[in-house]
């Protein structure tokens, strides 16, 4: 039985095959995975917000896209992954409730997705796939044996990206 490692909200975990990293119930949050197919080393990060510089105070860099991604990147590299082989996948970033006059905070899902993509690009990491947006929650997992990233939903079934 492969090892299932839970990743909480505003948290990240790194590991190697045969582990699977899983994060439950993402709404506007985003699950970002990094994976090196050769060494089968990877990580999963569950961010809540795009930008730590707009936040008043936080002791938790894993909460933000701009501080969380570099943190996870360092850890997968330290485990022995190669930066040039790393690929990223992301899912989440929904807007759970539709309001006519949606404030910025309501649209945080799409801002999260934008920020994640920008930061990955800035770090020179290729984005292989994404499943973002919509108005529904997602549970995401990455199998470090093969890099398959699964997205589970309640009404829209399950898919691999």
Q: How far apart (Å, rounded) are the C-alpha atoms in residues 3 and 21?
A: 8
Span 105-144, contacts to other proteins by CB under 8 A: 105-106, 108, 135-139
Site for other proteins contains 98 (CB under 8 A)? yes
- Choose between 25 and 80: whose C-beta lies nearer to other proteins: 25
Q: How far apart (Å, rounded) are the C-alpha atoms in residues 62 and 146?
A: 25
* Residue 72 CB partners (closer than 8 Å, separation 6+): 12, 14, 32, 34, 43, 45, 62
Binding-residue total with other proteins (CB under 8 A): 34
Single residue of 5, 55, 71, 129 touching other proteins by CB under 8 A: 55
Site for other proteins contains 76 (CB under 8 A)? no
Site for other proteins contains 33 (CB under 8 A)? no
29 is catalytic: yes
**How many CB atoms within 10 Å of residue 55?**
14
Site for other proteins contains 5 (CB under 8 A)? no
CA atoms within 13 A on the CB side of 24: 4
User: Which residues are designated catalytic?
Assistant: 29
Kindly list the residues in this chain that would bind other proteins in the complex (CB under 8 A): 8-11, 24-29, 48-49, 54-60, 63, 94, 96-99, 105-106, 108, 135-139, 154
């Amino acid at each position: 039985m492969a090892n299932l490692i839970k990743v909480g909200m505003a948290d990240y975990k790194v590991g190697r095959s045969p582990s699977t990293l899983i994060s439950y119930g993402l709404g506007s949050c985003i699950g970002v995975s990094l994976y090196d197919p050769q060494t089968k080393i990877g990580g999963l990060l569950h961010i809540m917000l795009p930008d730590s510089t707009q936040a008043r105070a936080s002791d938790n860099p894993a909460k933000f896209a701009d501080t969380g991604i570099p943190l996870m990147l360092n850890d997968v590299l330290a485990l022995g992954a190669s930066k040039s082989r790393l690929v990223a996948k992301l899912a989440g970033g929904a807007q759970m409730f539709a309001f006519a006059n949606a404030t910025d905070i309501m649209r945080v899902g799409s801002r999260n997705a934008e920020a994640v993509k920008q930061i990955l690009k800035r770090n020179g990491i290729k984005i292989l796939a994404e499943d973002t947006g919509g108005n529904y929650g997602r549970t995401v997992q990455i199998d470090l044996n093969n890099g398959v990233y699964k997205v589970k939903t309640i009404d829209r079934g399950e898919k691999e990206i």
